[in-house]
């Protein structure tokens, strides 16, 4: 068995190296690559994807999985070896259903789509992106056809990002949230409104950048194993447990954008940096799911970064950084300002009380696209109608509407719901952490995050993909995913801020 397991690990390590090279080229595409390099980059990514796919789906890998299933049948089901085999078997089953030609074709399409999306967004012209999006939707339908029929065709896409989750389950969770979040929004609308005009002054880029670096450093982000760069749409990526990179987007006329983007992506980065080093170059390296991953980014961005104790430590330092803009703004006004609830067009800038509504409308449109019940040409109008229905506002153009997110350009249908699932999970974890660390607020008030990070490392990060998301959550909190803690958090926080 040891010989076969070693051979399988060697093959998987080579696949991981190819995937890391792919990720590095993709990171460069989003950060430094000149626009004219898109066509060549598409070929490069397609070649790497094809090689990776061929190597992973080889007959040898399949035979080793079959042999090791028999030989590990009586092993401890929780051992790293047994869990590795379980993850590999599922990944292999999915990968072998995809023709290598499809993998290469999708890689080329998504590079082209990224460029057309970026151009369309810059010019606020959906028509420039529409042909590529139509092709992406058809390719995602083709992908679904490779698998046995499920309860809903969207289940196949959802399972890529949130293993085990069903479309009907997400719809049920969202339905329970929607009415309560709309009711909270309506109550806030009738309360005395908050002045956050001080956040919309001119804030020089370098000072914003430096302050964000300071915060991420305090969180525990290891700059020997990571870096931050700028991108149109903030993201994080990992090429190794010891090479995890984040990006941010700086707006000189809106302070929260870069600050909370850095916190958010640092949360993703801390997760990847905390994975068991023994999982390097194996399929166990990575997050359990995108919902679990988002729970980490949203926890650091919101539960920590938008909390009062956090700013009791950091606000004097922020005032020193921006004395002209914030010197006469007291901490209470600042805290209320960064937590202001106001329907807005851009998801990544949305407040906590409206954010999930942005996700719900995207999920509904994605499901409709996969079902074929809407035409892609009508997407801008349908988007605007749903924004009006949920948030009471209408996007003035495509850039602030249907084109604002990058996800469809990389064929990421199935991804969006994990943001809301991440919000729910973050609140579940936060309640558990509060029980485990009774003086957590005081530690945050002192700018100390090591104990919090240690809890997350021990209960979430170190496990990588060893456990499926619901299983990991059960181990960490004692229950599966539920919306109750998140609703308690929102209602408590905003009742205080808006005196409801």
Catalytic residues: 265
In this structure, the number of other CB atoms found within 10 A of the CB of residue 372 comes to 10
Matching residue, tokens 């980490």: 296
Spell out the residues 6+ positions from residue 350 whose beta carbon is closer than 8 angstroms to its own: 344, 358
| Cβ pair 154, 169 in contact under 8 A | no
C-alpha closest to that of 414 among 83, 165, 82: 165
C-alpha closest to that of 38 among 104, 100, 118: 118
Q: Helix, strand or coil for residue 276?
A: coil
| Cβ pair 288, 472 in contact under 8 A | yes
Q: Kindly tell me the sign of the dihedral angle through the C-alpha atoms of 317, 322, 327, 330.
A: negative
| Cβ pair 263, 305 in contact under 8 A | yes
191: left (phi over 0), alpha (psi -120 to 50) or beta: beta
Cα diameter, the chain: 70
Matching residue, tokens 């696949």: 15
Q: Which two tokens stand for residue 36?
A: 């004219």
Beta bridge partners of 482: none
Spell out the residues 6+ positions from residue 75 whose beta carbon is closer than 8 angstroms to its own: 81, 82
């Amino acid at each position: 068995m040891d010989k076969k397991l070693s051979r399988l690990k060697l093959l998987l390590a080579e696949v991981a190296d190819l995937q890391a090279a792919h990720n590095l080229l993709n990171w460069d595409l989003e950060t430094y690559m000149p626009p004219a390099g898109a066509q060549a980059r598409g070929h490069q990514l397609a070649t790497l994807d094809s090689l990776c796919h061929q190597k992973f789906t080889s007959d040898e890998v399949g035979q080793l999985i079959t042999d090791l299933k028999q030989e590990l049948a009586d092993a401890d089901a929780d051992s790293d070896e047994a869990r590795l085999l379980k993850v590999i078997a599922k990944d292999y089953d999915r990968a072998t259903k995809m023709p290598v030609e499809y993998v290469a074709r999708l890689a080329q399409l998504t590079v082209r789509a990224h460029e057309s999306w970026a151009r369309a967004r810059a010019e606020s012209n959906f028509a420039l992106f529409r042909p590529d999006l139509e092709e992406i939707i058809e390719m995602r339908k083709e992908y679904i056809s490779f698998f046995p029929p499920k309860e809903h065709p969207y289940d196949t896409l959802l399972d890529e990002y949130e293993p085990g989750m069903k479309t009907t389950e997400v719809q049920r969770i969202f339905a329970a949230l929607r009415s309560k979040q709309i009711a909270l929004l309506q109550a806030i609308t009738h309360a005395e409104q908050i002045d956050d005009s001080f956040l919309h002054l001119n804030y020089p880029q370098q000072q914003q950048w430096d302050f964000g670096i300071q915060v991420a450093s305090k969180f525990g982000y290891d700059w020997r194993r990571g870096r931050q760069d700028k991108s149109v749409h903030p993201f994080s990526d990992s090429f190794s447990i010891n090479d995890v990179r984040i990006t941010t987007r700086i707006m000189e006329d809106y302070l929260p954008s870069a600050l909370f983007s850095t916190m958010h992506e640092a949360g993703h980065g801390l997760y990847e940096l905390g994975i068991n080093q023994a999982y390097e170059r194996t399929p166990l390296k990575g997050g359990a799911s995108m919902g679990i991953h988002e729970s980490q980014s949203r926890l650091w961005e919101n539960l920590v970064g938008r909390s009062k104790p956090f700013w009791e430590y950091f606000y004097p330092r922020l005032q020193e950084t921006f004395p002209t803009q914030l010197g006469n703004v007291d901490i209470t006004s600042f805290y209320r300002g960064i937590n202001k609830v106001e329907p807005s067009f851009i998801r990544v800038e949305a407040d906590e009380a409206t954010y999930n509504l942005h996700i719900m409308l995207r999920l509904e449109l994605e499901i409709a696209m996969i079902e074929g019940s809407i035409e892609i040409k009508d997407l801008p109008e349908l988007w605007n109608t749903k924004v009006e229905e949920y948030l009471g506002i209408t996007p003035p153009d495509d850039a602030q509407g249907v084109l604002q997110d990058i996800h469809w350009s990389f064929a990421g249908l199935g991804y969006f719901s994990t943001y809301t699932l991440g919000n729910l999970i973050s609140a579940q974890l936060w309640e558990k952490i509060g029980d485990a660390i009774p003086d957590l607020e005081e530690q945050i008030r002192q700018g100390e995050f090591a104990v919090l990070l240690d809890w997350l490392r021990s209960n979430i990060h170190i496990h990588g993909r060893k456990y499926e998301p619901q299983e990991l959550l059960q181990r960490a909190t004692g229950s599966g995913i539920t919306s109750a803690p998140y609703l308690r958090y929102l209602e408590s926080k905003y009742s205080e801020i808006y005196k409801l």
